[in-house]
Amino acid sequence: MNPVAAPVIDVAGLTKSFGGRKVVDDFAIRVNRGQIYGFLGPNGSGKTTTIRMLCGLLTPDSGQGQCLGYDIRTQAQDIKRQVGYMTQRFSLYEDLSLSENLDFIARVYE
């Protein structure tokens, strides 16, 4: 496959549970370069958990796939070096500005 035409996100079967409660169940998505997607749903529907799995911040209980050509299970560190993720509410250092938080996270993940 031509690397330019390869999808930037291509996952299938992603599942994640916390405390015996399944919060993401058999999720699949394929996003090609240049496409824009939004995740909509009520609180607790698994949106943040899914994004965190795609960004390499959480390992799925099952499923497979790639983000930016990196395996989400085995190459999470590589994904984290390429993808920026900022939560709605800063949970680490609330006294830092948005810019300072982004700079801090960028330095942590090189």
This prediction has a pTM of: 0.80
Partners of residue 36 on adjacent β-strands: none
pLDDT at 101: 79
In which band, very low, low, confident or very high, does the pLDDT at 40 lie, cut at 50, 70 and 90? very high
DSSP of 19-78: TTEEEEEEEEEEE-TT--------TTSSHHHHHHHHTTSS--SEEEEEETTEETTT-HHH
Q: Would you mind telling me the total number of residues written for the chain in this entry?
A: 110
Q: Percent of the chain, pLDDT > 70?
A: 91
Residue pLDDT, tens place only, 53-97: 999 999 999 999 999 999 999 999 999 888 877 776 666 677 888
Q: Mean of the per-residue pLDDT values for the chain?
A: 88
Q: What order do you get walking across the sheet with 62-67 strand by strand?
A: 21-31, 9-18, 62-67, 70-71
